[in-house]
Amino acid sequence: MPEKNSIFSDQQKPSVTIVLADDDADDCAMMLDLFREAKIINTVYTVEDGQALLDFLQQIQSDAGEIESPPIVFLDLNMPRLSGLEALKRMKQDVALKAIPVIVLTTSFADQDILDSYHLEADAYIKKPANREALFSAFSAVKKLWVDLSIPVPNTSVTTALPDVASELAQTPQ
């Protein structure tokens, strides 16, 4: 079971559940700190590799009561066991997981990684800033878009109950 950190008081319901997939313990600790500073009311789960990420997402998917708010994945690319890109590919092939937003957050500046991530339907690609201050403004911008502005995907259990949109649209008479 991944490590769980709650950043909210008893009176506040977390608005998002952040799943942080990153194998660097120092990076994770700093990001946890900054989520708190950026006032993103959340619960953060940390996982160390792509396989642990998939296992955890499948677990919360099969038990809708497991998490209290819609999940967003922050995904590092270079991780042991199963890389970030491979994990992303498998998520997007899984009907139950594909609607979960994935923000790639990595130190890689390679054009090919950026292109591959968007091809595999990452929601956004963010180069992990090297210093704390820049990372803080990154999280503030993420908060403004994802927490204040965007409507997250509703209760994930609904996702699986809905007929596949692709097959349904295909049946629509032209």
Partner 1 sequence: MAFKKFSVKQPVNILLADDDPDDQSITLEAFRESELPNHFYAVENGQELLDFLRHKGCYKNVKKSPRPSLLLLDINMPKMTGLEALQEIKQDDQLRTIPIIILTTSIADEDIIRSYNLGVNSYIKKPVNFEDLLEAVIKINTYWFDLVSLPPGAEN
Interface with partner 1 by CB under 8 A: which residues? Answer: 92, 98-99, 101, 111, 114-115, 118-119, 121, 123-127, 137-138, 141-142, 144-146, 148-151, 153-154, 158-159, 162, 164-166, 169, 172
- Identity of the residue, 14 or 152, whose beta carbon is nearer to partner 1 in the bound complex: 152
- Identity of the residue, 1 or 170, whose beta carbon is nearer to partner 1 in the bound complex: 170
Nearest-approach distance from CB 53 to partner 1, in angstroms:
18
* CA dist., res. 75 & res. 52, Å (int): 12
Instruction: Specify the 3-state DSSP secondary structure of 87.
Output: helix
111: number of Cβ within 10 Å: 8
* CA dist., res. 106 & res. 116, Å (int): 13
Torsion angle of C-alpha atoms 94, 92, 150, 3, degrees rounded to 10: 70
Nearest-approach distance from CB 76 to partner 1, in angstroms:
15
Nearest-approach distance from CB 152 to partner 1, in angstroms:
8
Q: 48 near 23, Cβ under 8 Å?
A: yes
Nearest-approach distance from CB 30 to partner 1, in angstroms:
17
- Identity of the residue, 66 or 118, whose beta carbon is nearer to partner 1 in the bound complex: 118
- Identity of the residue, 130 or 151, whose beta carbon is nearer to partner 1 in the bound complex: 151
- Identity of the residue, 21 or 88, whose beta carbon is nearer to partner 1 in the bound complex: 88
Instruction: Give the strand order in the sheet containing 42-47.
Output: 3-7, 42-47, 16-21, 71-75, 102-106, 124-127
Nearest-approach distance from CB 125 to partner 1, in angstroms:
5
The residues, ordered by sequence, that sit 6+ positions from 174 with a Cβ below 8 Å of its Cβ are none
